[in-house]
Amino acid sequence: MPLPNAAPSPFRSREERERDREEKREAVLRAAVRMFNARGFHATSLDDVAASLGISKPTIYHYLGNKEQVLIECVTRGLELLSAAADTARAQPGDGLARLRSVLRSYALVMMDDFGRCVVRTGDEFLSPEGAALFRARKRAIDLSIRALIEDGIADGSIAPVDVRMTAFTLAGALNWPGRWHAPDGPLTPSEIADAMVDILIGGLAPRT
Amino acid sequence: MPLPNAAPSPFRSREERERDREEKREAVLRAAVRMFNARGFHATSLDDVAASLGISKPTIYHYLGNKEQVLIECVTRGLELLSAAADTARAQPGDGLARLRSVLRSYALVMMDDFGRCVVRTGDEFLSPEGAALFRARKRAIDLSIRALIEDGIADGSIAPVDVRMTAFTLAGALNWPGRWHAPDGPLTPSEIADAMVDILIGGLAPRT
DNA sequence: TCTCCTATATACTCGTCGGTATATTGATTA
DNA sequence: TAATCAATATACCGACGAGTATATAGGAGA
């Protein structure tokens, strides 16, 4: 049993050092994603990112190989949030429509997160062919998740017999949009925005007779 | 009365020369907008644009003062298409919902045009502060047009009493999306895509009882 | 203690690209 | 015909920014 050690030792164990390293990597990514979102990828230099953290550019290269890698990690984090949203909500109880509603809500919330925004603000054209292919594959998986849910809903009668493919595009398009306009200091909370959008998409505009 | 002149003269009149000039400007803009859409603004050099037309960079500077000006003209063309879509459809007969439907359809179609796409692919961050302000003002005007139409529809009972602001955002978001993914050589025509999206947005997903 | 690895910095290279200075040609006009 | 203007090119400048070569300092392990 390890002795309790009140005064923290300045000597770090292997795990502590690895955790430190991971923390620094994360800090770089957070700083980078914010600047990418605010000014655009090409308009953000790694010198800027480094300066915002009070470090120098080679330090960034030490933790993340090159500029594209930084972007890819940011986008990947966002895509993982999106996948997680789709997967957990899909596993919930309820009919297709209820589960879809839950996924859409989570999706919208992710789009108001720094990493989520980054997904929608990053065009394929910023990535190398390999990076872009990976990016597309992961987005496609999310799209398929949503389509599956729509199909479930149509099968159980909770969703009208719509065109699944176009519906998934339309829903995703609408929910991606906050990633471009939402400002975190606006009057509405992300949760309110998500609810309002989902209601409109689920219910449509024409009055129920 | 001017004599009919069978053989076209190599000497151009003032109007002809002005028309020539205008045509060349347009050609530059069309070439530029395509490359901006395909590769992104920052990744497209004016040397590339010039080369694609078989001319040299200073010729572009002769017709359009600088690179931002090229982008602004492209975006402005797209915004004008959007405004025109909103204004003409608004003037049509029918209740609020019918007119909104018509505007949404036209809006979606513009988003599958080169200049329309450019609007949605161009972030504020690419423009100078003045350019961005102009851009935002024109987008706001279009948003207000759509909101007015939704309000009309609510007033005449053809649209359910939704949150006008959020609804306008949601609709615009969904319809902007084709500007990012639609490929002109896809299996569906722009017209089919526009119809499908509008139906989904107007009707919602839950089955009508 | 000597060596090696990690973290970090300074100072550099080099390619790209927006923008310009300047020359040329040919048509328009006085 | 001389002067001017429009249209275009070649060749250049200067800035910026990705990425690297190299040095240093200090902890880790033998």
Question: Residue B62: pLDDT above 80?
Answer: yes
Residue A6 belongs to some domain of the structure:
no
Give how far Cα A11 sits from Cα of A7, A74, A182, Å.
11, 32, 44
B183 assigned to some structural domain: yes
Q: Label residue A3 by pLDDT band (50, 70, 90).
A: very low
**Which of B117, B165, B170, B192 would best serve as a mutation to test chain A binding (most A beta carbons within 10 A)?**
B170
Q: What angle do CA B79, B63, B59 make, to 5 degrees?
A: 130
Say whether both A156 and A102 belong to one domain. yes
pLDDT, position A55: 97
Instruction: Determine the Cα–Cα distance for residues B90 and B98; give it in Å rounded to an integer.
Output: 10
pLDDT given at position B11? 53
Give B126's DSSP letter. G
Domain count, chain A: 2
Using the CA of B49, which nucleotide's C1' is the nearest one? C17
pLDDT value at residue B204: 86
Is there a domain that residue B6 lies in? no
Same domain for B46 and B128?
no
Would you say A42 and B43 are in contact if contact means Cβ atoms under 8 Å apart?
yes
**Model pLDDT for residues B111-152, shown as the tens digit of each residue:** 999 999 999 999 999 999 999 999 999 999 999 999 999 999
Whole-angstrom CA distances from A189 to A104, A107, A137, A182 are 16, 15, 31, 10
Could you say which nucleotides of strand C lie within 7 A of any protein CB atom?
Answer: 6-11, 16-22, 27-29
Residue B20 banded pLDDT, cuts 50, 70, 90: confident
Per residue in A173-193, pLDDT tens? 999 999 999 999 999 999 999
Distance CA A93 to C1' C9 in A: 56
Interface test with B, best of A121, A136, A164, A170 (most B CBs within 10 A): A170
Asked if residue A141 and residue A87 are part of one domain, the reply reads yes
Contact B177 A180 (CB under 8 A): no
Interchain CB distance below 8 Å, A177 and B180: no
What is the per-residue pLDDT across B74-116, written as a single tens digit (0 to 9) for each?
A: 999 999 999 999 999 888 999 999 999 999 999 999 999 999 9
DSSP A85-107: HHHHHHTSSS-HHHHHHHHHHHH
In angstroms, the CA of A48 and the C1' of D26 are apart by 28
Averaged over A78-89, what is the pLDDT? 95
Same structural domain, A90 and A168: yes
- From the list A166, A165, A146, the residue with the least C-alpha distance to B193 is A166
**pLDDT of res. A208:** 76
User: Residue A20 sits in a domain of what CATH number?
Assistant: 1.10.10.60
In a domain, B7, yes or no: no
Say if residue A89 is in the same domain as residue A123. yes
- Enclosing H/E stretch for A10: none
Q: Supply the pLDDT for residue A12.
A: 58
A 51-90, residues with C-beta < 7 Å of strand C: 54-59, 62
pLDDT in tens, B40-55: 999 999 999 999 999 9
Contacts of A158 in chain B (CB under 8 A): 206-207
Segment holding B183, helix H or strand E: none
Helices and strands (H, E) in chain B, number of each type: 10, 0
Q: Is the pLDDT of residue B6 over 50?
A: no
- Give the pLDDT of residue A184: 93
pLDDT at residue A209, rounded to an integer: 67
pLDDT at A2: 46
The residue of chain A nearest to residue B41, with distances taken between CA atoms, is A42
Cβ of residue B14 near strand C, that is under 7 Å?
yes
At position B94, the amino acid (one-letter code) is G
Name all protein residues with C-beta less than 7 A from any atom of nucleic acid chain D: A 10-12, 14, 17, 43-47, 57-58, 61, 66-68; B 17, 20-21, 24, 50, 54-59, 62
- B48, B88: one domain: no
CB within 8 A of B102, min separation 6: which ones?
A: B89, B92, B94
Domain presence at residue A143: yes
Q: Is A172 in contact with A120 (CB distance < 8 Å)?
A: no
- Whether residue A155 sits in one domain with residue A53: no
Angle between helices A67-90 and A46-53 (to 10 degrees): 70
Residues A120 and A183 in one domain: yes
| Closest nucleotide over all strands to B70 (CA to C1') | C18
Place of tokens 């925004």: A117
Q: Please, which pLDDT band fits residue B16 given cuts at 50, 70 and 90? A: low
DSSP state of B94: S
The mean predicted confidence, pLDDT, of chain A is 93
CATH code for the domain of B133: 1.10.357.10
For residue B43 the two structure tokens come to 């990744």
* Domain ranges, residue B123: 67-203
For residues A4 and B190, which has the higher predicted lDDT (pLDDT)?
A: B190
Cβ neighbours of A200 (radius 10 Å): 22
- In Å, how far are A196, B49, B178 from B165, measured between CA atoms? 10, 39, 22
Residues A144 and A199 in one domain: yes
Q: What is the mean pLDDT of residues A87-108?
A: 95
C-alpha–C-alpha distance, residues A49 and A34, integer Å: 9
pLDDT at A5 > cutoff 60: no
CB contact under 8 A, B209 and A207: no
Tokens representing A134?
């990976």
Judged by CB atoms closer than 8 Å, whether chains meet at A39 and B125 is answered as: yes
Q: Cβ–Cβ of B207/A160 closer than 8 Å?
A: yes
- Confirm if A171 and A201 have CB atoms less than 8 A apart: yes
Angle at alpha carbon of residue A80, lines to A74 and A85, rounded to 5°: 135
Residue A7 in any domain: the answer is no
pLDDT tens digits, residue range B175-206? Answer: 999 999 999 999 999 999 999 999 999 998 88
Is the same domain home to A107 and A167? yes
Name the domain boundary from B49, B65, B81: B65
Inspect the interface and report whether the beta carbons of B204 and A205 lie closer than 8 Å.
yes
Residue A8 has a pLDDT of 52
- Flag whether A165 is in a domain: yes
In terms of domains, do A178 and A140 share one?
A: yes
Chain D bases closer than 7 A to any CB of the protein: 6-11, 16-22, 27-29
Per-residue model confidence as pLDDT tens digits over A102-137: 999 999 999 999 999 999 999 999 999 999 999 999
> What are the chain A neighbours of B146 within 8 Å (beta carbons)?
none
Asked, for residue A91, whether it belongs to a domain, the answer is yes
Query: A18-54, pLDDT tens digit by residue?
Result: 788 999 999 999 999 999 999 999 999 999 999 999 9
Q: Same domain, yes or no, for B56 and B159?
A: no
Asked if A103 and A159 touch (Cβ cutoff 8 Å), the reply is no
> pLDDT exceeding 70 applies to what percent of chain B?
92
* Cβ contact, residue pair A204, B201, below 8 Å: yes
- Rounded distance between C-alpha atoms, residue B161 and residue B155, angstroms: 9
- Other beta carbons within 10 angstroms of residue A135's beta carbon come to 21
**In the predicted structure, residue B3 carries a pLDDT above the cut 60:** no
